[in-house]
Chain A
Amino acid sequence: KAGVTQTPRYLIKTRGQQVTLSCSPISGHRSVSWYQQTPGQGLQFLFEYFSETQRNKGNFPGRFSGRQFSNSRSEMNVSTLELGDSALYLCASSLLGTHEKLFFGSGTQLSVL
């Protein structure tokens, strides 16, 4: 069974641009969560989608958005990039998403210049 796939692996953008990150969950998993990891703030929850519906959202500005498609693949978008958005963005999938084992992808490393 293939694991969680995140693309691209690395991304370099400049301030003011927007970016879209993609996540393909493990086959059969309906829940996809996104986390931001930075040296200063650690791992922080962005949002969680289940069957195309956002079920939970973290404390991030509206520039951060996401969506989930009918095949459970998910995308997150960050508009008007700021230097502080530089981070490792991790996607995790699970069957139901409620306090169960999460399977994480290797992440997308975003650098904002």
Chain B
Amino acid sequence: AQSVTQPDIHITVSEGASLELRCNYSYGATPYLFWYVQSPGQGLQLLLKYFSGDTLVQGIKGFEAEFKRSQSSFNLRKPSVHWSDAAEYFCAVGERSKLIFGAGTRLAVHP
């Protein structure tokens, strides 16, 4: 069965530091991969997605992610974190018309 693993439940970084959130997936075919962000009391917002082509994907808010088939990973990165990036981040894989989400990583940003 398809699954998504986000190994880090909580991450704390200082404002201005770089960020990498890990995501590993289990999927038989070429996956459709997504990163969503959820602020407290809000729905989810798409940061970026990978379907095919260039394995380095650029998203909104300065985020990027790299698809590595050999490692079954799709890690999210940002070179310099802002206090407003504090939120919960979800990696997901698309299967038919549904998304299978990871458990999420909660990001805290220290000033």
B56, CB-defined interface residue at 8 Å: no
> In the complex, which residues 77-106 of chain B have their Cβ closer than 8 Å to any Cβ of chain A?
90, 94, 96-104
- Pairwise interchain contact B98-A105, C-beta atoms closer than 8 A: no
A7 to B47, CA, bound (A): 25
A99 to B44, CA, bound (A): 15
A113 to B103, CA, bound (A): 26
- Pairwise interchain contact A42-B103, C-beta atoms closer than 8 A: yes
**Given A99-B32, A99-B51, A101-B49, residue A33 in contact with residue B97 (CB < 8 A):** yes
- Pairwise interchain contact A48-B43, C-beta atoms closer than 8 A: no
Residue of B41, B90, B97, B100 near A48 (CB, 8 A) is B97
**Given A48-B97, A48-B98, residue A104 in contact with residue B45 (CB < 8 A):** yes
- Pairwise interchain contact A106-B97, C-beta atoms closer than 8 A: no
A44 to B94, CA, bound (A): 13
List the B residue with the shortest CB-CB distance to A105: B43
- Pairwise interchain contact B98-A56, C-beta atoms closer than 8 A: yes
- Pairwise interchain contact B104-A42, C-beta atoms closer than 8 A: yes
Contact digits for A1-33, partner B, Cβ 8 Å, 1 yes 0 no = 000100000000000000000000000000101
10 A-B pairs with the lowest CB-CB distances in the bound complex, closest first: A104-B43, A43-B101, A99-B94, A45-B98, A99-B32, A104-B44, A97-B97, A48-B97, A56-B97, A106-B43
